[in-house]
Amino acid sequence: MPDVENPLVEAAKRYLKERYDEDTVSMTVTANGVDGGSGVLAVDCTVRYAGSLSDWSKKFTFAGGKVASMSARMR
């Protein structure tokens, strides 16, 4: 059975790098509501930005198989 979460996680990591220049140190899926390329993927993650590490809970909204938006809360 194919891993359906891995492409979503990779898309989320790319979004963070391209949009915010954040390097993902770790990312754990806490909820996956993405079906058919649309929905919300919730994660807990640690990112590195400008040499500093920080822990976040983030929700990525997918539309058409791509990240359309994101919300974040520091943990």
Q: Supply the pTM of this predicted model.
A: 0.94
Beta strands in 1-75 (DSSP E): 23-32, 39-49, 52-63, 66-74
What is the per-residue pLDDT across 26-49, written as a single tens digit (0 to 9) for each?
A: 999 999 999 999 999 999 999 999
Q: Is 30 left (phi over 0), alpha (psi -120 to 50) or beta?
A: alpha
Label residue 1 by pLDDT band (50, 70, 90).
very low
Spell out the domain ranges in the chain.
5-69
Helix (H) or strand (E) holding 7: helix 5-20
